[in-house]
Chains A and B, each alone.
Chain A
């Protein structure tokens, strides 16, 4: 059985009167990808900051890789890689200089920056100043910086937000490769499709609390509605919509009637999305 890489217990953070994170508890197993979903202001980034040592919790505690963050911050930070939501690179330095700087801070002696840049699709651009890079290139460089110390725990805050499909796909592949290598991934996002594709489990966060935490499949099973959606020809020739719930005792009869009594033009099954589930749980969307 895999050990827990992250254990959060009653983790709490307040900005003055506002409770941004309200006594949340969760575990993330080693080599697991946990998608942390929620709309803006739900408390995802605050949780991210507490787990990476940027904020000191106002209550509760968290341990990473078996070490209490509050007591072993520097030791913990030597084992993690962090990719921020907003670009925070030294733009007047080249990509290689950026990577070499952080490699040096991690105490890595033999470091091949070019190989890492090649891996994130930035081969041949290592000596260019970062200020000349596009947003997608900068984000890939941020991911490269986050993984340069081969972290056992990788924290990614909205890593593909606002990126073109090619850059997004590249970053998703790197996340999966890192998981294959054995890293645990904590991924905050409000892109439910990305979370669905990448995550072993997802946590829904709303107003500082975790409202659901399970595998995407289980969440869809528990909270989603399965249905058949059909378009049929109406009396005057216009197309009309029909929907049959797949989880009721009347389903077989309803399907038989649909085909025997109506002219079915198209038909397909529909599965609930994570966003549908989030809305059903919280009454609000993910944006």
Chain B
């Protein structure tokens, strides 16, 4: 292995990468942009459900509900209630009839009016209706004759709600890696298409040294930026070594994908055409963190799942080596398979 040759090639590739205005701009501005997005996103989670209430009579049951994270704001009239709902001050407006106590005492059914804006999901409407019924039971002194027990399946994260910006962090890290993947794929496909790779291969270098140099360039660009991003968004607060390792494996993974893409691409447009579907597919696991429960288990076949899941669990829940080792092992396996396949097909194209 001739490291002089490898370092010469890496220096050349870095220089060429930043001479391509498109990728240079995307890299620098992109990094700034992702960091801005991160800090613009809310850094805390509002766990309170705010409800507006118009109640001609005071119902003690509401006080009890408030203690459970339900914030009830009373208003003076139904009109003020409706106005508050429309303005978004309250998730829902509750209007109690003046004779509610009498009707509850005489076991008649009082009518309670709920007000929502059109964008409130049905699940939320059902929840509010359930709360009102529960209050009615409490108020009449006839609690539901059931006993409720709770069991948490998987890690109990109820005490550690994750701010939206921290849910976004793995997604942004993946985007950074993927953009560099496109840059490397373009660099490689140009090298093959313009024949410069043949000029290199008639010098005293082996094809192994060439691929090692390309791998170092791609991994270095992607890893460097991902690390910089995580540093700036304080992503190394928990398990920094695990996150570093996961990002390094992620950078290798995306470099392997870049080899694959460059083996079938002839120009910038075909690099884009192949990169975008790959990009979207590899991005999907990040959405499972943004919208938990929205995506089923099939995403576990995607290699990026093990990167995203590792970064998410370590950075947001403080998971350690013992919790995450299998993820890292699977990610390493994917890295080896994809990078080897990428080198194999690209080598066939070159030769």
Using a CB–CB distance below 8 Å, which chain A residues touch chain B?
Answer: 52-56, 73-75, 77-78, 80, 82, 84, 86-93, 101-102, 104-107, 145
Main secondary structure of the interface of B (DSSP, over half): helix
Partner of A53, one of B12, B19, B199, B201: B201
Which of B33-41, B203-211, B220-228, B304-312 sits within the interface? B203-211
Partner of A88, one of B9, B196, B205, B206: B196
Q: Does B103 contact A (CB under 8 A)?
A: no
Give chain B interface residues in 169-199, CB to chain A under 8 Å. 194-196, 198-199
Partner of B205, one of A55, A82, A87, A105: A105
Can you add 5 more A-B contacts, CB < 8 Å, to A88-B199, A106-B204? A74-B204, A78-B203, A84-B199, A105-B200, A106-B203
Cβ contacts under 8 Å, A54 to chain B: 198, 201-202, 351
B203 touching A102, Cβ below 8 Å: yes
Can you list 20 A-B pairs, Cβ within 8 angstroms, ordered by A? A73-B206, A74-B206, A77-B202, A77-B203, A77-B204, A78-B203, A84-B198, A87-B195, A89-B196, A90-B12, A90-B16, A92-B19, A101-B8, A101-B12, A104-B4, A105-B9, A105-B200, A105-B203, A106-B203, A107-B204
B347 to chain A, nearest CB (A): 12
Cβ contacts under 8 Å, A102 to chain B: 199, 203
Cβ contacts under 8 Å, A75 to chain B: 204
B196 touching A107, Cβ below 8 Å: no
B205 touching A74, Cβ below 8 Å: yes
Inter-chain CA distance A145–B195, complex, in Å, is 14
Cβ contacts under 8 Å, A93 to chain B: 12, 15-16, 19
Partner of B202, one of A82, A90, A91, A104: A82
Inter-chain CA distance A85–B204, complex, in Å, is 20
A274 to chain B, nearest CB (A): 28
B316 to chain A, nearest CB (A): 42
Chain B residue at smallest Cβ distance from A73: B206
Cβ contacts under 8 Å, B16 to chain A: 90, 92-93
A53 touching B20, Cβ below 8 Å: no
Chain B residue at smallest Cβ distance from A53: B202
Q: Does B5 contact A (CB under 8 A)?
A: yes
B165 to chain A, nearest CB (A): 38
Chain A residue at smallest Cβ distance from B7: A104
Most chain B beta-carbon neighbours within 10 Å: one of A75, A104, A106: A104
Inter-chain CA distance A73–B203, complex, in Å, is 10
Chain A residue at smallest Cβ distance from B202: A82
B351 touching A55, Cβ below 8 Å: yes
Chain A residue at smallest Cβ distance from B20: A92
**9 pairs of A and B residues whose beta carbons are closest in the complex:** A88-B195, A78-B204, A82-B202, A105-B203, A104-B8, A74-B204, A77-B204, A92-B19, A88-B199
Partner of B198, one of A88, A90, A104, A106: A88
A133 to chain B, nearest CB (A): 14
A82 touching B204, Cβ below 8 Å: no
Partner of A86, one of B195, B200, B351: B195
B204 touching A52, Cβ below 8 Å: no
Cβ contacts under 8 Å, B5 to chain A: 105
Inter-chain CA distance A104–B216, complex, in Å, is 18
Chain A residue at smallest Cβ distance from B204: A78
Most chain B beta-carbon neighbours within 10 Å: one of A55, A105, A107: A105
Inter-chain CA distance A82–B9, complex, in Å, is 19
Cβ contacts under 8 Å, B9 to chain A: 105
Cβ contacts under 8 Å, B15 to chain A: 93
Inter-chain CA distance A92–B195, complex, in Å, is 14
B4 touching A107, Cβ below 8 Å: yes
Cβ contacts under 8 Å, A52 to chain B: 202
Cβ contacts under 8 Å, A101 to chain B: 8, 12
Inter-chain CA distance A90–B204, complex, in Å, is 18
B203 touching A90, Cβ below 8 Å: no
Cβ contacts under 8 Å, A55 to chain B: 351
Give chain B interface residues in 52-106, CB to chain A under 8 Å. none
Chain A residue at smallest Cβ distance from B193: A88
Inter-chain CA distance A105–B6, complex, in Å, is 9
A140 to chain B, nearest CB (A): 15
Partner of A105, one of B195, B198, B204, B351: B204
Chain A residue at smallest Cβ distance from B199: A88
Inter-chain CA distance A163–B302, complex, in Å, is 52
Inter-chain CA distance A102–B198, complex, in Å, is 12
Cβ contacts under 8 Å, A89 to chain B: 196, 199
Cβ contacts under 8 Å, B200 to chain A: 105
B351 touching A90, Cβ below 8 Å: no
A159 to chain B, nearest CB (A): 14
Partner of A82, one of B4, B196, B199: B199
B192 to chain A, nearest CB (A): 10
Most chain A beta-carbon neighbours within 10 Å: one of B5, B194, B196, B199: B199
Inter-chain CA distance A278–B20, complex, in Å, is 48
B227 to chain A, nearest CB (A): 27
Inter-chain CA distance A92–B190, complex, in Å, is 12
Inter-chain CA distance A48–B199, complex, in Å, is 13
Most chain B beta-carbon neighbours within 10 Å: one of A52, A53, A87, A88: A88
Give chain B interface residues in 270-329, CB to chain A under 8 Å. none
Give chain B interface residues in 2-30, CB to chain A under 8 Å. 4-5, 8-9, 12, 15-16, 19-20
